[in-house]
A = this chain, B = another copy of it.
């Protein structure tokens, strides 16, 4: 019995960069093409896997390691995974890559929306609360975001639309033969 190639798309970027919106469109398109997807969105993961973790560097790293391990196990069975997480540290992202790489493809997508844009949007009002000091260890304000040193793809969350970004990712997956070519 043939098995489809497993892969994990890992979207990283600032809060409000557009990761979840892009992920939602990407997941919808993959599922419409008959491909089930496991969604490891920051909020779901914090609820299901990491409920007692804080936002210290050690706990953030542990959170990303858990995501990487679970994504790897799903990828192993030919599954498709879409991760959307701030994941501010390069080391943890590369650790996640190593946990998936053993089992299938890992696609690191940097959602490169500048801080000026994400803070201006401030959809959830989190930046205002971070600036006032109500929220501490907030990535981009009171905590670092390390720009990915080796992303597989960079999409722009400020100029292009989320649908365009999702399409770029689908094209990339097709180029890497992780999805069947429909052209």
Residue numbers in B under 8 Å from A73 (CB-CB): 38, 70, 74, 79
Residue numbers in B under 8 Å from A53 (CB-CB): 52
A-B contact pairs, 28 of them (CB 8 A): A1-B2, A2-B2, A6-B77, A36-B77, A38-B73, A38-B76, A48-B65, A48-B66, A48-B69, A49-B49, A49-B66, A49-B69, A49-B70, A51-B62, A52-B52, A70-B70, A70-B73, A73-B74, A73-B79, A74-B74, A74-B77, A74-B79, A76-B79, A77-B79, A77-B80, A78-B78, A78-B79, A79-B79
Give the interface size bracket for A toward B: 20 to 34
Residue numbers in B under 8 Å from A4 (CB-CB): 1
A38 B77 Cβ-Cβ under 8 A: yes
A138: shortest Cβ distance to chain B, in Å?
Answer: 22
Residue numbers in B under 8 Å from A52 (CB-CB): 52-53
Convert A142-153 into 0s and 1s, putting 1 for each residue whose CB lies closer than 8 angstroms to a CB of B: 000000000000
